[in-house]
Amino acid sequence: MKFLLANGAPESYFQEYLSMDMSPHHIHKTKAEHKYAVLLLASGISRALAENSELVPITLSQRLNKLILRSKKELR
Q: Say how far apart CA 73 and CA 30 lie, in whole Å.
A: 14
- The CATH number given to whatever domain includes residue 68 is 1.20.1270
For residue 76, pLDDT over 80 is answered with: no
The model's pLDDT over 48-73, given as tens digits with 9 standing for 90+, comes to: 988 887 788 888 988 999 999 999 88
Task: Pinpoint the alpha helices (H) of the chain.
Answer: 2-6, 15-20, 31-52, 58-75
Owning domain of residue 60: 2-75
Of 44, 4, 37, nearest in space to 21 by CA = 37
pTM, whole model, 2 decimals? 0.85
As for how many domains the chain has, the answer is: 1
Average pLDDT (15-22) is 91
